Amino acid sequence: MRIVAAILRDPSGRFLLESVELADPGPDQVLVRIAGVGMCHTDVLVRTQERFAPMPFLGGHEGAGVVERVGSAVTGIDVGAHVVLSFDSCGACMNCLRGHPTWCDTYMLRNWGGGPPGGNLPVIDAHGDRIAARWFAQSSFASYALATSRNAVVVDPSFPIELLGPLGCGLLTGAGAVLVSTRVVPASTVAVFGAGAVGLAAIMAAKIAGAANIVAVDIHDNRLELAQELGATHVLRGSNDDVAGAITRATGGADFAFDTTGVPTVVADAVKSLRYGGVCGLIGVATGPSVLETAALSRRSVMGIGMGDAIPQKLIPELLDFWAQGRFPFDRLIRTYGLSEINEAEHDSHTGQVIKPVLIP
């Protein structure tokens, strides 16, 4: 079928809206009419790191919409279902069977690179050339997308489906880091480095978990203000010469720290902010190698976190329940744009003017 998609052909160029051909769903796939898709930092990593996907490229991995067709082997997802699209996993390896789909043996193959595991690319442009278009098993910067029965999460149709896409990655990651990966406990101290969508989701989740002190660190005043409104008890400018010391003086040190930036100096500050016995979760994509002092690691732990170690079919409905209760107001992070405004959305996100752009086809 013909669809409209935002294609990136040049790492330094603009997204181009094009009419392309999308393949029919395979046996284990569903065809989803996209109602809204979040733009995440991960979608633009291909601009600077060619190893993630080749050009031309169709990104988008926070899609949400309505199922219009289902493959012959799909069960549990019906035509007309409202779904949030998240990451893909095999469901059969040892890690998947143990309830850790983010550790799937084929995770990288299924989600990174823009191509299917051992199959043909599902999108062809007007010239007959194939597009790298299976980004996180969806490539949802488009009017329609193909997903799998593993990464399409059925949600209550009473929720505004056009706003739910970010629950599939950024919000899932931040909240999952707190509620699943580290299991933050009541009365603890949590420090979150970076108050973007992932960091703010972590702050909201820390409040849900009952943390007594929640420290937000960022370089944007508007994000720190919002962090306070969403649950942060302390805020610090990232330009502070002694962020770790300021956190220790204010709270006695963090029991849990989360870095969402991937910046090596920030990672070091996050580890230094821990009290003895504390855990630092590394969420952000690394921008370079981090060097940590041995003394800083004494009696402290560091763990890498991917996608919040979440089972999307479990955590996404839970987050929607929290939202309905007024405890996870993620809609306050969102600004909507038309799909044709994708370049403006990318600019506004990069400059910090908006936290979570959502594109409406």
3-state secondary structure 130-192: EEECCHHHCCCCECEEEEECCCEEEECCCCCHHHCHHHHCHHHHHHHHHHHHCCCCCCCEEEE
pLDDT tens track for 286-332: 777 888 877 778 899 999 999 999 999 999 999 999 999 999 999 99
Output DSSP code: residue 99: T
**pLDDT computed for residue 50 by the predictor:** 72
Residues 23 and 162 in one domain: yes
The verdict on pTM exceeding 0.85 is yes
25 inside domain: yes
**Tokens matching residue 54:** 């080749």
What percent of the chain clears pLDDT 90, i.e. is strictly above it? Answer: 85
The torsion angles phi and psi of 168, rounded to 5 degrees, stand at -80, -20
ω before 101 within 30° of 0 (cis)? no
d(CA 270, CA 272): 6
Count of domains in the chain? 2
Indicate the average pLDDT of the chain: 94
Structural domain including 121 reads 2-168+329-360
Q: Check: CB of residue 339 under 8 Å from CB of residue 143.
A: yes
CATH number of the domain that residue 211 is part of: 3.40.50.720
Same domain, 149 and 7: yes
54 or 115, which is more confident?
54
Structural domain contains residue 131: yes
Tell me: do 183 and 162 sit in the same domain: no
pLDDT for residue 118: 54
Q: How much of the chain, in percent, has pLDDT values that exceed 70?
A: 98
Based on the domain organization, do 117 and 146 belong to the same domain? yes
* pLDDT tops 90 at residue 145: yes
Question: Are 35 and 120 in a shared domain?
Answer: yes
Domain co-membership, 84 together with 214: no
Shared domain for 32 and 160, answered yes or no, is yes
Task: Judge whether 181 lies within some domain.
Answer: yes
Same domain (yes/no): 191, 141? no
**Within-domain flag for 315:** no
Which residue type, as a one-letter code, is found at position 97?
A: L
Q: Do 225 and 251 form a contact (C-beta atoms < 8 A)?
A: no
Are 289 and 191 part of one and the same domain? yes
- Cβ atoms 102, 96 nearer than 8 A: no
127 and 184 in one domain? no
Same domain? For 299 and 349 the reply is: no
Same domain membership, residue 163 and residue 108: yes
Assigned domain for 323 exists: no
Q: Is residue 298 part of a domain?
A: yes
Task: Report the DSSP beta bridge partners of residue 315.
Answer: none
CATH code at position 15: 3.90.180.10
- Residue 58 included in any domain: yes
Mean pLDDT of 77-89: 97
Considering only 45-59, 159-173, 232-246, which range has the smallest mean pLDDT?
A: 45-59
Please report whether residue 50 resides in a domain: yes
